[in-house]
Structure formats: C-alpha cells, structure tokens
Structure 1
Amino acid sequence: MNRPRVGVAVLTMGDRMPELLALLASVAEQDEPAVRVVVVGNGTALPGLPQGVTVVELEENLGVAGGRNVAWQCLRDFGDVDVLVDLDDDGLLIEADVFRRIADLYAAESRLGIVSFRIADETGGTQRRHVPRLRAGDPMRRGLVTTFLGGGHALSMPMLEETGGWPDAFFFTHEETDLAWRAVDRGWDILYEPQLVLRHPKTSPARHAVYYRMTARNRVWLAKRHLPAALVPVYLASWAAYTLVRRPSPAGLKAWWAGFFEGVRVPCPPRRPMRWQTVWRMTRLGRPPVI
C-alpha cells in the first residue's frame, strides 16, 4: 500500500499559548513531516501561529468531542490525510521520529484503527490512569487494548468514517471510550504503543469544574448507547462502587450523582448495542466492558 500520510489536529482554548507554540515547534521538527497541521480555537481567536498551520476559530466552545470533530472534518476536506494525530495543546513531542513510527504501524496493518501514545510527565513517569488497561503496573508493556488516551493518539481516517467520529453530546470525558467501543465492535484494533511518547504536565482530571458531573453523565450514556441490556446495570453499579471507594469530596460526590441521574434522565441516541462477540473480544483483551 502507499505510505500513510499523517495529519495533526490540536484543540485549544487559547489559554496555553507558550505551550501550544512549543508543541507546534516539536511537530515541525519531526523527521517525517505531517502533510497538514490544523489548530482549532475552541471559542477563541488564535493570532500569531506559525506559517503553514491551518487555523479554525470557533465562536463557541464545542467541548473536546465537538472540537475534534471540527478538526477531523477540516482534514477530511483536504483529502490528503490517511491518519489523524490528536495532541493536547500543553503536550510536547520529545522525539523526532513519532510520525514516521506511526506511518510504519499503519502501513503494516490495514485494520489498525487507533494507536494510543504513552503520556509521560516532566520526570518521565506515567500515571496509572494513563495506562489504558486494568493491569497498569508496567506502562512500557505494548499491546492491543480496548480504549486509548485522549492526550496523544492516532486515528485511521477510514475508521473515523466507519464509526462516525466523536460523540458531540459528550462534550468532555469518556469520548475516547465511546469511540473505542464503536471501533472495536466494527473489527478495528487499538494498539497501546509506549514508544510513542507525549510529554505532558502531571495533572488531575478533577481540576476541571465540570469533571464529576460529566464523568458520571457520560458513563451512563456509554452504557445506554453501547452495552447489551443485561450489562447496563452491572457496568453502572461497578462504576458507582468504584467512585464511592475513591471517596471524593462531598461537593464532588454531589456533582457525580447529579450527573448520574442526568444521564439516566436525558437520552443520548443512537443506541447501538455492541455484539456479544465484541464483549468476549474485550474480555480476552483484559477489560470486559463492565469494569
């Protein structure tokens, strides 16, 4: 097959300009250049970006899912990108061979849908939550998984066409899992490749004010959209128990329950339950879709 062509998408709210410019510099330093680089301003203007970067300025913040769909559609319209690489605006590529490695991976495997990077902090360490498997003790263990990391990943453009892209309504949190489940159900592979590194400051997702509400709401929507009916209560009960064990603050727990019942009350169509064959495949990969 022809060599896969890599395009880059970065989503920003315009409040990390030094980090964004450093990231774009690391993108420009790759030994196999990206054919396109798109930066989407999520409700913000973006003056002063480097020449050659395509800038899309949105009038309102569409969230992570909505903003990434805008970037995908922009690259899709150019018609010369085979693999889309999403990067957090405060991340940094510390090696110059990232895009070359990605092109090699996709050239070797036609059903490779998603490649998940390893996220490393300034010390080189990887947080447990950044390893996309249950047995997360060794962040250097490569292999097929059932979800991926939002901060740095590569997506097959044919896979995006087949799955329909990101779930706009999710706005923020669990949009990666929603896309991953649809990809796995359609026979695409998800590879965790720890040699592909995005340096990223050590953070907690709870730093976002809406985290607890949206993480609970979107968990419910995941189950309602994708799980066989028999697994929906099992999945939601396991995540409710996990949340209680972690003992969030009273304000956080109140927001979590508000989001949970919002998810129950508010529909998020379409409902397309995954096949039981997919449930078994995910179980064999080490993460049945109830945990």
Structure 2
Amino acid sequence: MDVVVLTLNDRPDEEAAAQATLLAQKGVDIRVVVVGNGCKPEVVPAGALTVCLPKNIGIPGGRNAGSHALRNADDPADWLYFLDNDAAFPRPDVLARLVAEAEQHPEAAWVQPRLTGPDDTTTPRRWVPRLSASAPGRPGRVTSMTEGVVLIRRDAFDAVGGWESRMFLYHEGFDLAWRLYEAGWSGWYAASIRMHHPLTIPARHALYHRLAARNRIWIAHRNLPAPLLPLYLSVWTAITLVRAMRGGGLGETLRGMREGWTTRRTQPRRPMSWRTVYRLTAAGRPPII
C-alpha cells in the first residue's frame, strides 16, 4: 500500500505521533511519501520517500505530487491511502481491515473509515459522508469522502486524473467522488473502522470561507448537467449564506461566491451523465444538495 502524508512542518509533535501509528500497522506492506508543501519535510519515517515542493500548491496538488512520486518509484501499489499529518490509527489493523472491506466491495473506488475525535466516539456532522449524520456508526454506500483519511484504488484514482489541484483547499473530495461515480465506481463507508483526528473546525483557516464558497461553484460548473446548475447553486447559496450569517465570515463568503462565478469558465466542463445523477440519488445524495 502507498501512503501519502502532506506537511507544512507546522506540527512536528502531532506528525511524529501520527507516523508512529502508521508504522505500527500490521497485515499490509506500506510505502510512505512525505510531501513538503513549500518546505523540506522535517519529520520523516525511516525509509520513506520525500518530495520537496518549491511552494505551497495546496492540499490536492500536494497529494497528487505524493501519488506521482510513489507511482514512479517502481511497482506502484494497488491502494493509495491519504493521511492527514495529525490523524492517528487507533489500532494496528486499520489499513488491513480497510483493504478487506474494499475487496468485499469491488464496485467501490474508495473506502472511508469513520473519523472520530481522540475519544473514539465523537464524530462531527461534517465527518459523516452522507446527508443524514444521525447514525455515524451505520455503514453503506456513500457519494462523498473525508479526504484526509481515505483509501482509494490506484487504478481508479489515476484513470480520473486524481485530485483537482486548482481547488487548493476544500471540497476537492466532492469533485473526485463525482468523477469516480461518472467513471462507474461508487464509494463505501466502513463505519466500524475508526480513525482519530483532533476535533478542529475548518473555519480556523483564514482561507476557509472564500475558498469553500468559490470551490462549490467550480465543482458545479465542472460536473453538473446544465439543467441542474441553477438548482444546485440556489440550494448551496442559501445554505452557505445562512451558515455565514450565523457563524461569521459573510464578507469572505460573498467574495468567494463572486470569485467562483466570475472564474467558473476557467474550469473544464465535463457534465456527468443522467445515469450518474440517478446513481448518486440512489446512493442517498442527489447532486443538488
């Protein structure tokens, strides 16, 4: 298995702890690459590859760089695992169990573990890859992913072109999931397999409100059939504005919406088929929400 870890050298203690739980995984052979996004990685496990990017090109671009490095390092693995540098494996059999789940669901391009806080229980709504977050322990087919702790089939990932690097940060998982569905795949939520992550909030990043709003418009323009575009954008505009008015960041959200709309045509447009719309809807999330 090939594992991609991205770093800005901004949390060495958390990175060392995360890597220790990675190296403790049993039942799978792993190769690791640590990608320095605009830096030389300082916390690197023995034997790992390193990639030093001259500047910060964003999370999806950095992950692509790590995937490419492993693919070019002879005999790429069948599986890619993308690991946030502050996420931890609570048990030494997590990766082996995820591969076993993937083998039981050959239609799934990705397998998503349940992400919890360090208490092994708390799962914020945003970490549940379905519309209803009331039962985070229920497994099933899903249409979105939590990008920083996800297992993806290498052949499926490469066939659709990997992450969309121009998004820089936020919602790249929605874009990749839709493209994988369009290619005939689906996703699986292995809710009985846990990963741990600090209980942070996305808005801690200064770019959150602007890029999240911009990227929603880009994703819609890239992927949706023309009749669904106004419906999707209307729904998400209303939801986003309500959230911004309640939680702050309204000015940056409006700026991001304007940026997304005025630059939408810089994004390649490849609308999904109506069959894919049906499959996404049947999986529990019609592509208007």
Select the residue among 175, 180, 191 that pairs with 1:178.
175
Query: Which residue of 2 is the match for residue 142 of structure 1?
Result: 139
Contact 2:213–2:240 under 8 Å retained in 1: no
Contact 2:105–2:188 under 8 Å retained in 1: no
Q: Does 1:111 align with 2:81?
A: no
Q: Does 1:272 align with 2:270?
A: yes
Percent identical residues: 41
Q: Which is worse superposed, 188-197 or 99-108?
A: 99-108
Select the residue among 156, 161, 166 that pairs with 2:158.
161
Select the residue among 248, 252, 255 that pairs with 2:252.
255
Aligned residues: 286
Task: Tell me: CA distance 1:250–1:137, structure 2 relative to 1, closer, same or farther (3 Å).
Answer: closer
Contact 1:115–1:192 under 8 Å retained in 2: yes
Contact 2:2–2:31 under 8 Å retained in 1: yes
Amino acid at match of 1:284: A
Task: Tell me: CA distance 1:188–1:46, structure 2 relative to 1, closer, same or farther (3 Å).
Answer: same
Contact 2:112–2:190 under 8 Å retained in 1: yes
Contact 2:108–2:188 under 8 Å retained in 1: yes
Query: Which residue of 2 is the match for residue 131 of structure 1?
Result: 128
Q: Does 1:32 align with 2:27?
A: yes
Deviation at 1:23, TM superposition (A): 1.0
Structure 1 unaligned blocks of 5 or more: 1-5
Amino acid at match of 2:281: T
Q: Does 1:65 align with 2:70?
A: no
Distance 1:250 1:278 in 2: 34
Query: Which residue of 2 is the match for residue 20 of structure 1?
Result: 15
Task: Tell me: CA distance 1:201–1:48, structure 2 relative to 1, closer, same or farther (3 Å).
Answer: closer
Query: Which residue of 1 is the match for residue 83 of structure 2?
Result: 87
Amino acid at match of 1:194: A
Q: Moved runs in structure 1, 4+ residues, more than 4 A? A: none
Distance 1:34 1:262 in 2: 44
Deviation at 1:107, TM superposition (A): 3.0
Task: Describe how 1:224-239 pairs up with structure 2 within 5 A.
Answer: 224-239=221-236
Report SS of the residue matched to 1:153: strand
Deviation at 1:192, TM superposition (A): 0.8
Contact 1:119–1:151 under 8 Å retained in 2: no
1:87-144 C-alpha deviation (Å, 9 max, x unpaired): 1101100011112112223333433201112111122210011101111101001000
Amino acid at match of 2:260: G
Q: Does 1:41 align with 2:36?
A: yes
Deviation at 1:52, TM superposition (A): 1.2
Deviation at 1:17, TM superposition (A): 0.9
Query: Which residue of 2 is the match for residue 98 of structure 1?
Result: 94
Distance 1:161 1:273 in 2: 19
Distance 2:42 2:126 in 1: 34
Task: Tell me: CA distance 1:265–1:282, structure 2 relative to 1, closer, same or farther (3 Å).
Answer: same
1:205-264 C-alpha deviation (Å, 9 max, x unpaired): 011100011011100001100000011111111011112322436961111111111111
Amino acid at match of 1:280: Y
Contact 2:223–2:271 under 8 Å retained in 1: yes
Contact 1:225–1:268 under 8 Å retained in 2: no
Q: Does 1:193 align with 2:187?
A: no
Amino acid at match of 1:118: R
Query: Which residue of 2 is the match for residue 285 of structure 1?
Result: 283
Structure-2-length-normalised TM-score? 0.95
Distance 2:32 2:190 in 1: 22
Distance 2:103 2:129 in 1: 23
> What is the RMSD of the two structures over their aligned residues, measured on CA atoms?
1.5
